[in-house]
Amino acid sequence: SSFLLLCFRSPLVTPLIFGLLLQAPLTQLSTITQPNFVLLLADDLGIGDVGCYGNDTIRTPNIDRLAKEGVKLTQHIAAAPLCTPSRAAFLTGRYPLRSGMAAINDYRVIFWNAGSGGLPPNETTFAKILQQQGYSTGLIGKWHQGVNCESRNDHCHHPLKHGFDYFYGMPFTLISDCQPTETPEMDRAFRRKLWLSTQMIGLITLTAVLGRLTGLISVRWKALTCLAGFSLLFFVSWFSSYGFVRYWNCIMMRNHGITEQPMVTDRTTSLVLRESISFIERNKHKPFLLFLSFLHSHTPLLTTEKFLGRSRHGLYGDNVEEMDWMVGQVLDAIDKEGLKDTTLVYFASDHGGWLERQEGKRQLGGWNGIYKGGKAMGGWEGGIRVPGIFRWPGVLPAGTVIDEPTSLMDIYPTLVHLAGGTVPQDRVIDGRDLLPLLRGMVAHSEHEFLFHYCGVHLHAVRWHQKDTGAVWKAHYVTPNFSPPRAGACYDRGFCPCSGEGVTHHEPPLLFELSQDPSEAKPLSADTQPLFGTVIRKIGRAIEEHRRTLTPVPEQLSVSNVVWKPWLQPCCGTFPFCWCDKEGDN
């Protein structure tokens, strides 16, 4: 047994073992030039929602088939626990605070299509490099990286400015406001405060007018007119944005043109699938990148009638099963065009499931399996550990499971390398080329440390001690669950990154994830002899990491996040923005 252990730990022997186990030899990479890439990214999907990751009640046969025919990663980590920063890191291969896409304030994602923040034009996405290498590049679905900077049509943050030849989808993200029958979701608590303030100001104004008319109070009509004008101005100032969220944010675009404003949600799924398959068919004779960025499984959980009531987990389960069907349709299109052996398919989620998303007794968010926490929590595993699956028949060994720390940022250098390009040399790239690990040519991930941020705040750090196989994780900041010990911030709807809603730990909470993946039993100097050594090692890594950071403009500052009428994408003459070009067709 000791001999076997020695063999398995040797990076020279691992490829030999893989070769013996496989029925067919792996293709030499030198014979493959520029494979196609199909990237399938789910939205808010929990790692516990997928069959091949342990779920036995939600049916995901197509995603499970990808894992059976390819490589499944069990420690695949998002660079952030929310959509905008995680996707920025995915596209650039860099921690989001390097591009200014990490927030100092509570506005941690792009909030409006008419905000001025977004993925900076000077960032180089993998799509841009693949485009330079002769690839046809398409993005279908969700963007959520901003649209404009200074004018309604400058499109400085638009997908077409970031290396995509073709875009069809939402420049924003799905929210419940997009579905007229659903309870509004966007900035719900803030909206309640604004509405309450409006009512109070209106009541004061009405009381003053009645008092003046009845002679109970002595106040000039001019003052009352000013008060009434202020009340009206206050109401218009916020209702002009929040009162029309569906028109401002819930739009569909094809390239730079708006096709639906507001979007017609009943047909969104079929249009996204149709566009994805059409892109494959149009580009089958040359190398292509298709980034299918699903609107599933984000609320309001748009689900066609065919899938309603099919799962054992209500509307959320129905939605996940429909997404799995869409995955199957895309895989069938690849097979139909004879592209299976020349196409690398990747499936993942942008971050963990949203535990707090509930309406009454309905659970509308995902499940993160055995892992603590969820969406918006920068440190706990449930917010950042996601499914990660690669399939490339004949090149990647089928049915392989890799339990090594990897990151969504690793997609960047992996794709660039396979396309024959080179990663930018003028900036730090935090991702690592995964191909040697995926093919079994090396035993360990190149990542020694991974840094887990919540906005700009460093919450936790992971250290992969390769000589022992231990995966240490130190938490410096954790959110305060509400109610206490509830496992999420149900009273808030989201866990915060800083302020009164978090606890700072000195010394940090320490876990050994290979022994305690649920982060249930923090270690101490009394229970773990290596405690001090590990904390010091991680502390030095943080110092070294921080030396690589340089100041950049904050894309998610309040001034960049707020709604700006002059930046609002509009199909028509602002403010009369409405069109349905899909319906016209």
Which pLDDT tens digit goes with each residue over 369-380?
A: 999 999 999 999
Residue 277 shares a structural domain with residue 139: yes
Q: How confident is the model at residue 205 (pLDDT cuts 50, 70, 90)?
A: confident
Q: What is the DSSP-derived secondary structure letter of residue 367?
A: -
Residue 225 shares a structural domain with residue 261: no
Per-residue model confidence as pLDDT tens digits over 480-533: 999 999 999 999 999 999 999 999 999 999 999 999 999 999 999 999 999 999
Give yes or no: 155 in active site: no
| Rounded distance between C-alpha atoms, residue 352 and residue 349, angstroms | 7
Residue 425 shares a structural domain with residue 341: yes
Judge whether residue 19 has pLDDT over 50. no
Judge whether residue 192 has pLDDT over 90. no
Per-residue model confidence as pLDDT tens digits over 66-100: 999 999 999 999 999 999 999 999 999 999 999 99
| Rounded distance between C-alpha atoms, residue 72 and residue 65, angstroms | 11
**Phi–psi pair at 558, nearest 5 degrees:** -60, -40
| Helix or strand run (H / E) with residue 222 | helix 221-242
**Residue 510 carries which side chain, given as an amino acid letter?**
L
Query: What total number of domains does the chain contain?
Result: 2
138 and 289 Cβ atoms separated by less than 8 Å: yes
133 within some domain: yes
363 within some domain: yes
pLDDT for the residue numbered 5: 37
Residue 203 shares a structural domain with residue 278: no
Residue 401 shares a structural domain with residue 371: yes
Residue 315 shares a structural domain with residue 225: no
Polymer length in residues for the chain: 585
Residue 87 shares a structural domain with residue 206: no
pLDDT for the residue numbered 135: 98
Residue 355 shares a structural domain with residue 433: yes
Residue 130 shares a structural domain with residue 212: no
Q: What is the pTM of this model?
A: 0.91
The dihedral region occupied by 479, where left means phi > 0, alpha psi between -120 and 50, and beta the remainder, is beta
Q: What is the DSSP-derived secondary structure letter of residue 535?
A: H
458 within some domain: no
Residue 276 shares a structural domain with residue 362: yes
Domain span holding position 228: 188-242
Catalytic residue (one of 52, 83, 178, 570): 83
Q: Write out the DSSP string of 135-161.
A: -EEEEEEE--S---SSSTT--TTSGGG
Q: What percent of the chain has pLDDT over 70?
A: 94
Compute how many other C-beta atoms are within 10 angstroms of the C-beta atom of residue 12: 10
151 within some domain: yes
418 within some domain: yes
pLDDT for the residue numbered 27: 67
pLDDT for the residue numbered 184: 78
Give yes or no: 144 in active site: yes
Catalytic residue (one of 76, 144, 298, 464): 144
pLDDT for the residue numbered 31: 58
Instruction: Find tokens 């669950």 and name the residue.
Output: 481
Terminal CA-CA length for the chain: 68
| Rounded distance between C-alpha atoms, residue 14 and residue 285, angstroms | 36
Residue 235 shares a structural domain with residue 258: no
